[in-house]
Chain A
Amino acid sequence: MWNYSKKLMEHFMNPRNSGQLPNPDGRSEVGSPQCGDAMTLDIEVDDDDRITDVRFMTFGCAGAIASASALTEIVKGKTLDEALSVTNEMVVEYLGGMPEEKFHCSVMGHEALEGAVRDFKRKRNTVRKHLEAMFRDLSWDSAGVLGGTPPGIAHVHPSRVLLEFPGDPGEGAVEAVSRELSGRVGRTVEVKVKR
């Protein structure tokens, strides 16, 4: 048996934030082909780039499961940049130490977080790209709900955008943008109006 700390064992036996999110803003799947471990990590991010929810699933040893659990606890509530600055050493320290031979088991969590953040940014860029294209060429707006003037883009998120309209947009305009954008992105993207 490895000399696992009490706290590590506690996280292994009662992992926090395990599972998957139904509609994650960012998801990653990473594996270590060397030792055969693997995990998934889902994040939910608010409009301030803050991680509001995080879930993991791990195929791995007690050290890998506890490290993933600890990482989710540490990064929850942090901004993406803050979360990415969390090091492997901080996770090990949070767990009250780990046998040196097992350090590699905890590395996967950080890779998974990087992957989930990358996925979040990729999704966000996709939404932004489609939105910008939509506003450059308004030919899709055959009904003319935007009146020929595109709104400004205040904030983009993988599942919602915040738009600034010159005047008061009608219900029809918000709905039409959301429908067109969701169609282009391939999943539902909510449109909010900045007042």
Chain B
Amino acid sequence: MKAYLDNNATTMIAPEVLEEMMPFLTHRYGNPSSFHSFGGEVMKEVEKARSRVARLIGAEPEEVFFTSGGTESDNTALRGGCSINPLRSGLLVSMVEHPAVLNTAKKMMRDGTPVGFVPVGGDGLPDMAALAEMLVPETGLVSIMTANNETGTKFPLAEVAEIVHPSGVLLHTDAVQAPGKMELDVKAMNVDMLSLSAHKFHGPKGVGILYVRRGVDLPPFIVGGHQESGMRAGTYNVPGIVGMGKAAEMALEELSAVAGNMKAARDRLEEGILESCPGASVVARDSDRLPNTCTVLFKGVESEAVMTILDMEGICVSSGSACSTGEIAPSHVLTAMGIDPMTANTAIRFSLSRYTSGEEIDVLLDILPGIIEKLRRISPYA
């Protein structure tokens, strides 16, 4: 591999994170729930990790519940949030949510939950007027992501909260793409629930959290033992939890140091592409975006074809195309923004991390223009 530019899909595990995990994959295998101190000592590490994650998002440790990842957290928030008050079982989600939220909402709708999908504008931001209108007395929960995984657009959660909270509606946010790329503060964002996934910020896969504001009477996620105050049963994924704790600490510490570098590198990549590839345009370029993400539309060139050649060259990116995933329709995010399906099929997403090197961007800028040119020559739409 020559360039890994797909960090919104997953990130490399930080060496420091792996180092802190290793004892719990080897000799410190005790069960944190055990009576004996061999296990009890491990519980201290779980609680340390909880505090570190709480600090990352400005929460109290007891408001943080470990899960198996972002998808479980989203499922739990949506299903749990809509079941607190039977008179307020309605759900509203934006049309550009991650499938973990969107498909959960669709399933709940099929099962009888009143669900509404909030439209977005051409800038990718949710239509606040539509949201306000869609709120009805039966609405119990609104779920709007913190930043979009495809476009990087940041959503104004505090403004959303101002609209939904006066009606006594709970607000959940999928913040999976945010850590290490923007400041997170559950109080400033004014959210009641928030989902994170460790592997999106250099932690291990298979672990995440759901923040639940104190006072929100969420039902237990998974029933069994008494772990996580009875909220989420199942033996602790100790190596994962410890790794997530370290990754959270690093994301917070390095945010101020690396966010600027990441944005500079992203902007160089973006400008380099716009200069060298005729017909290229950046999606939501003028919106407030995460510093690591950019999605580019390459006029007349289907993105799976581009990705196939990039892959042969050892460059990892991802796309909004239908064909690359075996889906029948192109990106729901881009089409919700009013981009036609054919144009959405030209979208390539580049996503950086704090470990992305200048050489990786050089390699891409070296190879990409030739690929676009080659494919434009045989395209009827170039």
Contacts and interface: CB of A to CB of B under 8 A. Distances in A.
Contacts of A19: 378
B323 A61 contact: yes
Contact of B381 (A1, A12, A38, A63): A38
Interface in A29-87: 29, 31, 33-40, 56-65
A37 B326 contact: no
Interface in B337-382: 341-342, 344-345, 377-381
Contacts of B309: 13
A44 to B, nearest CB: 18
B311 interface: yes
A169 B378 CA distance: 46
Interface stretch (B65-73, B157-165, B208-216, B300-308): B300-308
Nearest to B322: A35
A171 interface: no
B329 interface: yes
Nearest to B326: A101
Interface in B43-101: none
Which of A38, A60, A102 has the most CB atoms of chain B within a 10 A radius of its CB?
A: A60
Interface in A79-137: 101-102, 105
B330 A18 contact: no
A2 B308 CA distance: 9
Given A35-B328, A39-B380, A105-B323, A62 B304 contact: yes
A119 to B, nearest CB: 15
B295 interface: no
Interface in A138-169: none
B324 interface: yes
A26 interface: no
B341 A33 contact: yes
B151 interface: no
A37 B323 contact: yes
Nearest to B374: A13
Contacts of B173: none
A15 interface: yes
Nearest to A39: B380
A36 B345 contact: yes
Given A12-B305, A59-B302, A40 B380 contact: yes
A37 B380 contact: no
Interface string B256-283: 0000000000000000000000000000
Interface residues of B, number: 25
Contact of A58 (B322, B342, B345, B379): B379
Given A15-B378, A29-B380, A37 B302 contact: yes
Given A12-B305, A36-B342, A61 B324 contact: yes
A65 B345 CA distance: 15
B195 interface: no
B149 interface: no
A193 B377 CA distance: 40
Contacts of A13: 309
Given A34-B329, A62-B308, A18 B381 contact: no
A59 B301 contact: yes
Contacts of A58: 378-380
Interface string B279-318: 0000000000000000000001110110011010000000
Contacts of B328: 34-35
B381 A59 contact: yes
Interface string A1-34: 1101000000011010011000000000101011
Given A4-B308, A59-B342, A63-B323, 10 more contacts: A1-B308, A2-B308, A13-B309, A35-B345, A40-B380, A58-B378, A61-B324, A64-B302, A65-B305, A102-B323
Interface of A: 1-2, 4, 12-13, 15, 18-19, 29, 31, 33-40, 56-65, 101-102, 105
26 contacts: A1-B311, A12-B305, A12-B308, A19-B378, A29-B380, A35-B330, A36-B302, A36-B321, A36-B344, A37-B302, A37-B323, A38-B342, A38-B380, A38-B381, A57-B379, A57-B380, A58-B378, A58-B380, A59-B301, A59-B302, A60-B302, A60-B305, A60-B323, A61-B321, A62-B305, A64-B323
